Amino acid sequence: MERVLSVAQPPSVSRVKPFHFTSQRVLFYPCISISMDHRHFNSSLRLRPHQSNSIHAAATVPVSGESVEHTLKIKEWEAGMLREEIAVSQGITIRRRPPTEPPSNYEGPFEFQIQNGPAAPCNVLEEIIWFKDVEVSQFKEKVSLDALKQAVGNAPPTKDFPGALRAAYQRTGFPGLIAEVKKASPSRGILRKDFNPVEIAKAYERGGAACLSVLTDEKFFQGSFENLEAIRNAGVQCPLLCKEFVVDAWQIYYARLKGADAVLLIAGVLTDQDIKYMLKICKELGLAALVEVHDEREMDRMLEIEGIELIGINNRDLGTFAVDISNTRKLLNERRIDLLNRRDIIVVAESGLFTPTDISFVQEAGVKAVLVGESLVKQTDPAEGIANLFGKDISISA
């Protein structure tokens, strides 16, 4: 007889409502549904949404003879295992955290399941994501989510990020520019030694940028949330994208508090349910979300999700860091362009854009915005660099 049980996606423990099923306690909360025909999972998992269109998941947590602490460890470990199963089913290859052994004396649905992949990160993006998982946990110990929510309630209104891109496209006839404030990258090292984020931001705005992207990752890109806050407080009028590797809702609230008008969500890292949940939070906070894709499967996944306003096509393979701007054209076939236009989604081309020819190439492919960092931030005068990138002066004063 088939049983549908529940496995964890990480809400607070206080929200978990136990439901007794024979000798086991079953913990229910939003995620995905898994069918089980015995106490342990089969080698092939069947995932399905409930008829209500809300998604739930199930995992059993044995409690007989277990301490509360050990029970919570089991719950958290099973939640991680299920999260990886869901990600794999959606074609996501980036693992959210390093593989770990089950808690001692573990008996449960994942008892005989072997974790896939090496103990070390498979590529730079996976290394970043693993670090973020630890970093965010440390941040949350210092500033609780409840404290952030209270502080955000007093934050000033956000600026219209998509609206600024549309206005720039109509004004110039070129894709709206998101100019990136970036000091370094894992693949290129230091891009600008005399790095003054506020002065660079002002130069971008003077040169005609519609919006700005600010790197906030410190370890890999030498950015910071302090840079984001400093630019916001310096009187820069361009809407600001917080360029962070988001793995937790806490980061979205923190970005809003520091002055962001938009955040980045990476489809190659986040499951469909993660994206939907974070889009909901963004809407509540007045933030735009730039949802980044790298391949056709990610693009098609995101086109199935309602509420997306901005899709970024990254021409850089975040596994190898190889760049190919033809990736933009590859992902924008006739069917997808028709769907994007009907839903009024702005497509942003990202990475590998250095010349007016590059801009023309992605514009002809169908994009209405571009995100450019390296080719601008390395210029002595970033405002002049914008004119060189587009082949003409696109500043408001032009």
Distance CA 344, CA 172 (A): 19
In this structure, the dihedral spanned by the alpha carbons of residues 183, 227, 200 and 354, taken in order and rounded to 10 degrees, is 40
The total number of residues shown for the chain amounts to 398
**Cα gap 398→393, rounded to integer Å:** 6
Active site residue 292: yes
Rounded-to-integer distance, Cα 345 and Cα 305, Å? 12
In whole angstroms, give the CA distance from residue 165 to residue 368.
8
Catalytic residue among 126, 135, 180, 374: 180
- Residue 345 phi/psi, 5° resolution? -90, 130
Gyration radius from the chain CA atoms = 22
Residue 27 three-state SS: strand
Catalytic-residue membership of 350: yes
Q: CA-to-CA distance for 11 and 240, rounded, in angstroms? A: 29
Instruction: Considering the candidates 132, 159, 202, 243, report the single residue annotated as catalytic.
Output: 243
| Identified catalytic residue from 213, 315, 351, 375 | 351
Rounded to the nearest angstrom, the gap between the alpha carbon of residue 367 and the centroid of all alpha carbons in its chain is 20
Please tell me which residue in 126, 135, 205, 292 is annotated as part of the active site: 292
SS3 274: helix
Strand 47-48 and strand 33-36: pairing?
antiparallel
Query: What φ, ψ does residue 86 adopt, rounded to 5°?
Result: -65, -45
| 3-state DSSP assignment of residue 23 | coil
How far does CA 156 lie from the centroid of its chain?
Answer: 24
For 249-319, list the strands marked E by DSSP: 262-266, 288-293, 310-314
Please identify which of the residues 182, 183, 202, 258 carries the catalytic annotation. Answer: 182
Catalytic residue among 350, 368, 374, 375: 350
From the list 33, 227, 314, 375, the catalytic residue is: 314
> Is residue 243 annotated as part of the catalytic site, yes or no?
yes
Question: Is there a catalytic annotation at residue 219?
Answer: no
Between CA 335 and CA 386, with CA 282 as vertex, the angle to 5 degrees is: 70
**Catalytic residue list:** 180, 182, 243, 292, 314, 350-351
